Each structure stands twice: as C-alpha cells, then as structure tokens.
Amino acid sequence: MSRNVEIETPPVALTVAGFDPSGGAGVVADVKTFTAFGCFAVAAVTSLTFQNTTGVFGAVHQSAEAVRAQVVPIIEDFRVAGAKTGMLPTREIIEEVARLFREDSLPAPVVDPVVRSTSGYDLIDDRALDALKKELLPLARVVTPNVAEAERITGLSIRNEADMIEAARAIRGLGARAVLVKGGHLEGATALDVLDEGGAVKTFSAERIETDSTHGTGCTLAAGIAACLARGLTLEESVARAKQFVTEAIRRAPRLGKGNGPVNHAVAAPVSRTQRDGG
C-alpha cells in the first residue's frame, strides 16, 4: 500500500541577475544559495558574461523586453516570496525591472548594486547607475553594497566603521528602507558589516578568513538574505544567518580555479528548512 507523504511546499525565491559560466557568482550562485536555504529557485538572466575566476572578459546584455518576458511567466505561475537583483547592466533593464517590482505580485527585493567585478571590470555605466539610484533603490527591502559600490553610489570615501554608517545613511536617503554596507574589503581582524534599517544601526562581525576564495560572496550574501526573508525571518535575522552562511562557505571553499575561487555553496545553511512565516 502506498502512503501519503506530506511534503513541505518551499517558498519561491527569484533572482534577476547576470549569468556567470564559471558558476561562482550571479544567477548560478543565487540558485545554489536559495536551494541551500530550502527555497525553490527561479531566475531571469540579464546578461551573459564571459568570465572565470581570473577575471571578466566581456558580456552580452539582454534587452529589457527579454528580461520582462522571462519574469512575467514566473509570477503568473508562482507566488514569489523573496527576490533579489544582481547585475542590471543597462538603464533600460533597470527601468524595466523597477516596473516589474512596482507591480503588486513581487515582494520588495534585496538589491545587490553590482557595479564592478573583483577583477576591476565595470559592469554598469553612469546612466545605468543613475537609474538604479532613482528607480530601483526606493523599491528595495535592503540594498547591499560593498565599500567600493557604496563609495560610487554616494561619492563618499569609506575607511572605517563611522564612514560605513554615514554611507548607509546616505543611501537610505535615496529611498531604500534599509542598507547593509559590507566591510569585507576594509582591513581589520574581523569582517564588519553595517545595517541601517530605518535609522536603527546594527553591526555584524565575523572572523576574517585570509583566502583568495571570495568569488561571488556578494551575490551569495544577498541571495541568502532574500531566502531568509522568503522564509519569514526578520531582516536582522536574515542578515545574520546569511553572513554566517557566507563565512562558512568561504572557510570550506573548494579551492578551484587559478584566480579568486568560488565559495562552497554546499555547506549547511543556518536556518531550518521547516522554518517559515516565523514558525
């Protein structure tokens, strides 16, 4: 006799980002992270990049219409519980993505404002950055820039925790509900991040691991936050657990590639797969 097996329906998490064929960043990293946190991953690709662990060598961008055409069938079929954006390379794509998130069927996204690769390749021009600031940041649940990205968005110089707090406040002034400035690029014994949520500031610190295996850490952190939000955690809880996941993923990196290697997305995520809607 067959038995009825009760299977939990996972929350659906959407990423709208670029495709990294080497698998360490972008849509591929997001999907692996969503899965680690017990979400069902769906995705729209904004750009086909040509890269590996040593650098980015070019990209072919999708049209704004192509991005919309990928997202609409998803939201017509699934209830999306969490979302994040990554590489949005053109003004037209950013404006189209903002229109999608202004529609009622998508939750406020985690916006990872990808502007430059670790190897120094510019992934967004000034017109697109202007559109990002005006169109998408005001829709964000949280914006997650690293120090270099926060400096480009605000024009400020960031050297320490006080500067990070000032930058977070400035970006929140553009309309975002919350901003997480990631301090992993600053020197120090710990990797410090600063969260400004509605003016309330919280810091998160973790052991700094000396390694070259940092490819895709920003994508992974943002995806982890989006997955935790999809599962009903608060923003503060989501940031803490996503940061814990990234730290362990770096610690147990697979040591692949000749450059900045990928992290290990197969580590156990610090959230119960049955945890949902705060339960």
3-state secondary structure 224-250: HHHHHHHCCCCHHHHHHHHHHHHHHHH
Active-site position among 35, 85, 214, 247? 214
Active-site position among 218, 224, 243, 247? 218
Active-site position among 82, 216, 224, 261? 216
- State yes or no: is 218 an active-site residue: yes
The owner of tokens 């929140």 is 172
Q: In degrees, to the nearest 5, what angle opens at C-alpha 239 toward C-alphas 234 and 242?
A: 120
- State yes or no: is 219 an active-site residue: yes
Of residues 5, 47, 1, 10, the one with CA closest to residue 275: 10
Of residues 142, 132, 164, 139, the one with CA closest to residue 151: 164
Active-site position among 32, 82, 219, 243? 219
Of residues 35, 82, 107, the one with CA closest to residue 273: 35
DSSP 264: -
How far apart (Å, rounded) are the C-alpha atoms in residues 226 and 14?
Answer: 9
- Is the separation of the CB atoms in 249 and 263 below 8 Å? yes
- State yes or no: is 217 an active-site residue: yes
- State yes or no: is 216 an active-site residue: yes
Active-site position among 33, 154, 217, 220? 217
- State yes or no: is 182 an active-site residue: yes
Active-site position among 84, 133, 182, 243? 182
Q: Which residues are catalytic?
A: 182, 214, 216-219
